[in-house]
Each structure stands twice: as C-alpha cells, then as structure tokens.
Amino acid sequence: MAQFDTLIWTVPIILVLVSIGSCIACGRAEYRIRDECCPMCSPGNHVHRHCTEFTSTSCVPCVDSTFLDEPNGLIKCKVCINCDPGLGLMVKQRCTPSSDTVCGTLEGFYCLDPTKDGCRAAQRHSSCKPGQYISHTGTASTDTVCSDCTGDTYSDGSLTSCQPHTQCKSLGLQELRPGTHWSNSECGPQSSRIEPRIIIGVVASVLIALATITIILRRIFVILRKKRSPTTVTFSPVTVNAVEEWQTKELLSLMTPLSDEETKPLDDNGSSSRGQKGRLTSQAVTSQSASVVQKSGANTEEMDSDDSLTPCHVS
C-alpha cells in the first residue's frame, strides 16, 4: 500500500519535470526547431537542413549578393544593400557572404541617414549664391555653410573667401565697370574721352556746312537755267521814237524838188527825164530805206550788247 502511494506521487513529478525541461531555452549558439535545439550556422552560411534527434544542422554559404553577418538558424540569406548613385551614394565596401554592402556619399553630397559604418541616404551640398562665399566647406556628414560678402569685396559663390575689387587706377588703367559683391571691377586701357559738347559742336558744324553748300548749288542752278532760256528784248518808247525820227530825216534828205527838165512832156519813147529821175529817186529812196533799216538793226544789236543802255529791259 505504501509503494502504491509512492508511485502515485512519482508519476506527476516526472510529468512536471518533462514539461519543465521542454520549456528550458536553448543555448546561445542554438536555435529551437520543434522540440529540438539545433546548432546555429556560422556567419556567411544559412540552414540547409535542420537538426533531428540523430543529426546536426546542415549549413551552406550565402551566394548571389546575399549575406548573413551573425550566427543564425535562417534558411535564407539577406539581400545586400544597393548603393544608388541617384541618392548620392557609392559603394564604400562591397558585399560579402558574411557582411552587407557599406555605402558612402558621393563627392558633393552629405549623409542624411547615417548607419554604423556607412550611409543609407544622402543629399547634395548647398551652393552659395553670387555675393556669398563658402565659410564652411561641406563634408560627407555636414552641409556647406555660406556667408555674405561685405565692403569692397566680391565672390561668385564658389570662393572660400571674398576677394577685394581690383583698383584700376593703381594699375594705370581705366575702370570700365565698377565692382559689385558678385563680380570684380572691369579695367581697360586709358582712352581720351570726347566730351558731349564737342560731339554736338562737330555735328552742328557739319549740318551748317551741308545747308550752305545746298543753298549755293541751288543758286548756281537757277542762274544756269536763266542763261539757257531765250531772252526777249523790249525797247522803251523813247528809243522807238528816236529811231523813227532818224529814219524820217534820212528819207526827207533824199527827197529833193523836181527841176524844169523833169516837168517836160514825154519824148518819143514815151518817157521823159523827169520820169527817169523819178524812178532813180524812188530807187534811191528804196535803197536808202534798206540801208536805214540795216543801220537800225545794227544799232539795235549794239544796244543789246551794250549793258549800259538803260532804255532796254530784259525779261
């Protein structure tokens, strides 16, 4: 009876001990799979087959840009990180079966999301504007710091300090453009600068000369045109009367009285000395009239050629 009681108490205790043993954690280099504590695979390897009661864990190396950097009981390796240049990253340390890729920042970038050995994201350094200088150059972990130029200094934004403006006069040059905070002074050779007053005077003189030449040429043209056009000579009444009186006197001097012989009857031939003399006198008068007319014409030409004759008017 006593043995039976002891057996009753022994069975529950054994069951409790078994259950407690099943809840005990595996060692640091083991992992639990079902009710077994299997040995872990070393870094760079993953589990190919779990352990059993009779066999240990089977491990194989990581391949194809995968890795495991710690002892593990995983059946797959982790994928290595890709360092994307578009994010300002570059490969600092290549991936191995036992280590992940380590990314660094490209030149001109700084890290925004740092890791233990590298960076997961980066951003381009800030650019200083014209009129500013780089007071603190950007690094792989810090951004660029910019400051403004002051006084007679300048910077295009890429300088680490503001530079003084060039003094053109001290170099014997002429300042073509003054300096600003973002650009230097522009110098050039000395040149004689013409005053605006001189320019205005020269232009005015040229215009006056052209106007004078134009007026002179127009007057010459008018004179030449008048000389080429026919002229009309008009005698004044005084000149005409004088010519008529002179012609009358000449005619009267040719007309003499008839003598007795001229009044005799006709001869046998039907003519008389009077008739003959009359005819001669008539012919003489006619000849004398023609001579007078010629003289009058000659006198007229002389009067035309004589510029001092006042009776003539040329239109």
pLDDT at 293: 43
Helix (H) or strand (E) holding 205: helix 196-228
Low pLDDT (below 50) residues in the chain: 1-2, 4, 15-21, 258-264, 266-286, 289, 292-293, 295-315
pLDDT at 194: 61
Integer Cα distance of 243 and 241 in angstroms:
5
Helix (H) or strand (E) holding 39: strand 36-39
pLDDT at 66: 97
Integer Cα distance of 46 and 61 in angstroms:
6
Domain 25-79 listed as CATH 2.10.50.10: yes
pLDDT at 145: 96
pLDDT at 9: 53
User: Residues near 189 by Cβ (< 8 Å), separated by ≥ 6?
Assistant: 173, 174
Integer Cα distance of 44 and 69 in angstroms:
6
- The SS3 call for residue 274 is helix
pLDDT at 291: 53
Contact predicate 258/274, CB 8 Å: yes
pTM of the model: 0.45
Strands 163-164 and 153-154 turn out to be: antiparallel
pLDDT at 239: 62
Domain 85-187 listed as CATH 2.10.50.10: yes
- String of b and e for 142-152 (b: at least 16 CB within 10 Å)? eebebeebeee
In the chain, list all ranges with CATH 2.10.50.10: 25-79, 85-187
Give the phi and the psi of residue 104 in degrees, each rounded to 5: -120, 180
Integer Cα distance of 98 and 81 in angstroms:
13
pLDDT at 230: 58
- String of b and e for 206-216 (b: at least 16 CB within 10 Å)? eeeeeeeeeee
pLDDT at 303: 43
Integer Cα distance of 248 and 218 in angstroms:
50
Question: Model confidence over 198-230: pLDDT tens digits?
Answer: 788 889 999 999 999 999 998 888 888 887 765
